[in-house]
Amino acid sequence: MESDGIKRRTWVQLLTFSGLIPFVGLAMLLIAGFGFAVDLFQIYGLAITCFLLGSWWGIGLSGRRPSEVPLAELLASNGLLLVALASYCFVTAPLAVAFQGVLFAVILALEYRLDRLRRAPRYSLRLRSQVTAVTCSIHVVVAAWIEG
């Protein structure tokens, strides 16, 4: 997949790092005093959580016979998303943001641990590790700022 001389790996890196822009922008808005940014920050985090966990379904179901469906991974995907949604709905914003940051680290750890999920190219896993570290750091800052 080349477009104007840009290779797939470059596109993956560009798109992955661009996913940080809303987190950074919303954190900056929050620090600047725009309280509405807290909800948007959490909603964007839920959207990214849905994206990451939803990809487990595509990976798990691709090219598999029905008897080989990775049921544990699919159920874990749904369970983690429900926990993320519950934290958004039922706990205070600082705790929910902190939990969301931890959840991103848990998702990455599971992707390294589960064989089907760690079959991604090495550069992709390395990139995910870098972006997850930044994302978790931003969540710590935002949670601390909200707690104020």
The predicted structure's pLDDT at residue 125: 87
How confident is residue 5, by pLDDT bands cut at 50, 70 and 90?
A: low
Which residues does residue 3 pair with via DSSP β-bridges, in sequence order?
A: 6
Three-state SS across 81-137? Answer: HHHHHHHHHHCCHHHHHHHHHHHHHHHHHHHHHCHHHHHCCHHHHHHHHHHHHHHHH
**Higher-confidence residue: 96 or 124?**
96
Question: pTM (2 decimals)?
Answer: 0.90
**Dihedral over Cα of 128, 129, 132, 133: its sign:** negative
The predicted structure's pLDDT at residue 4: 55
Q: Rounded to the nearest 5 degrees, what angle is found at the Cα of 20, between the Cα atoms of 110 and 144?
A: 85
Which residue do the tokens 């990809």 mark? 55
Residue 86 in contact with residue 100, Cβ under 8 Å? no
pLDDT tens readout for residues 70-120? 888 899 999 999 999 999 999 999 999 999 999 999 999 999 888 777 777
